[in-house]
Structure 1
Amino acid sequence: MRDHDKSPRNIGPNTQLVRAGYDPFEYHGFINPPTVHASTVLFPDAGTMEQHGQQYTYATRGTPTTDALCDAINELEGAAGTILLPSGLAAVTVPLLAYLAKGDHALIVDSVYGNVRHFCDTMLARFGVEVDYYDPSIGAAIEELFKPNTRLVHTEAPGSNTFEIQDIPAITSVAHRHRAVVTMDNTWATPLYFRPLDFGVDISIQASTKYPAGHADILMGTVSANESHWRRLKQANGQLGLCGTPDDAYQVLRGLRTMGVRLERHQRSALALAEWLQEQPDVARVLHPALPSFPGHDIWKRDFKGASGVFSLVLKGSRKDDFKMKAQAFLDGLSLFGLGYSWGGFQSLALHVELDDRRILEAPSEGPVVRLQIGLEDVADLKADLERGFQAIAGIQ
């Protein structure tokens, strides 16, 4: 009889994705875990109920399905524990609530996802938390921004929409000297291309809506903590009563199995298009960390194992008043690229990004910024579609 308890060591990332989080022989050999729909869990006797003396007590605290996904993410992240949340935004805001209190000070990267900035400027402000924004290129010089009450540093690399790379090891080293927690939104790279906890980050955040789910039909976020910060994160999550559903957890776990091969395709196609776009006369700049011309490329090459399928281009503009009109003409000229928010799914998407909320960084001045999510279509077809967008711009000049 085969020994199913022995797992090979030193396996590759795609092999790990296929195996992580669930042993089929724990449930009759079925290759996927059962989807356990539950709220109430029964106890065999009053004593067990009083002591919470069994693995499952109530569905907000976990089910076999959600645990299978958490176990897989723990393995990929190298984490002590993971919580599931209903969205990627919640995956950022719950750690902020977990580790910050009235009178605390937080440092938030200025290239942060816009809805996180809104949360910091409204909800955290109402709770009495002071927030300052910092330049993503600051590196070890972030020490100058620390105050006696600085308790948390939030990082996001690459940055939302403009894709700045941060020197994460330098920032975590400073933060830990000041006993501050470091959180990181690692949605762009996933743990396959960057493992935050290996670089000193305490809390690794992913919008599972994106590459883990991979099909534009699930909302979920994961938050993974190292050993010293896991207990507080888990407690805060329980107090807030937020959880991922078994159906969504099942879908994300299924998406994980193919995430590696999908990311390889996203990466290859996106880089080919980014290199091509650099040569187009209507393009002022391409914002992609894997391009040697991009500021921060050396740090990306040092720390990251790969790139995903999302980047931006800066169209050549004339007057700033015309930027929006030019971006809209370009987008309306596209047919294969869908016009929609989010990314990480199979279809290519395009979006005109507004950067007026930046505090430190200035938006590119050459023209409007268009973010592209490169899906699984053929590169030649996407090039032809982008050319249609450039032709639409020519029609308004």
Structure 2
Amino acid sequence: MTADDAVLLRTEGRAAYLTLNRPRALNALTHAMVRRIDQALTAWESDPAVETVVLTGAGERGLCAGGDIRAIHDDVRAGGGAASAAFWRDEYRLNARIAHYPKPYVALMDGIVMGGGVGLSGHGRVRIVTERSRIAMPETGIGFVPDVGGTHLLGLAPGELGTHLALTGAQIGAGDALLCGLADHFVPIASLPRLIADLAHVPAYEAVGRYVQEAPPGELAARRPWIDACYAADTVEEILRRLPTDEDQAAKEAAETLHSRSPTSLKVTLAALRRARRLGSLERVLDQEYRISCAALTAPDLVEGIRAQVIDKDRNPRWSPAALSEVTEADVARFFAPLGDRELGLAAEPAPPRDRPDADR
């Protein structure tokens, strides 16, 4: 499948439509797809006939399950990860571009939206979820760390909800996505075809407003007391000590999940989240995530995690180090080391102000 086939482009009326078109792969992103999306946004930004950009995913299962991690595994094994680093460089730049796109960028976050799918949608100006939405940043389960600006978005979530989601990789529905600031509006699935059609003829915010409803209740609001108390700890070890003492069964399940994750990924993720809150801007966080991602290419857990999940599918990764106690401060610090002339460098570039207006201009 070519990039032209994997990302379908069309314009109708005042809207331009991007459709991720790899439904059998849950619309997983490739480097060619990232480049095609970026090229389309460039063309539409200067086209006065295009007033709104709409992102959708082909098929019934979801918008996008993330990046093509099998390709990352093969690249690291065969080429040392150079192609993956180049992919992330373009992908993260696209994430930043979406955040500052001058025209309404409407992301329909229906079905599964994970990893790179969050990067394509979560930074958009109008983020719509449905009763079918399942949103997650599950990177610690494959020996990786939330990227595509994920640590920025999760760092902005109320209390320690973002820490919980980043470390466990838990999937959330529409109500919780709205609570965590990962989405803006709930629109029922049955209304999506009419909304998509209206966007071609009606200003984006007016069109969306016609179909917005109250989302079904989520689960995280009731769990805030123990989530905030447990995940406020300064170390993963202390978080784990606190979790099983809570009477909520979900807290015990969270502890079990953390015990199955890559110890290195957990420690790096916690450090990345805490640093992201201090860094502030999305660009500075993406620069940090690029350092982390490049370091992961030379660490054992990413390849091992992908092997266990999608190559051999034995779901039994052999993490190295295997225990939290064996992951040193130096091990964690290595993921944040400067890259010299390989830095992403987004923070050094001027960026337009972040804007999320309530009406078309």
Q: What TM-score, normalized to structure 1?
A: 0.29
Structure richer in helix, relative to its length: 2
What TM-score results when the alignment is normalised by the length of structure 2?
Answer: 0.31
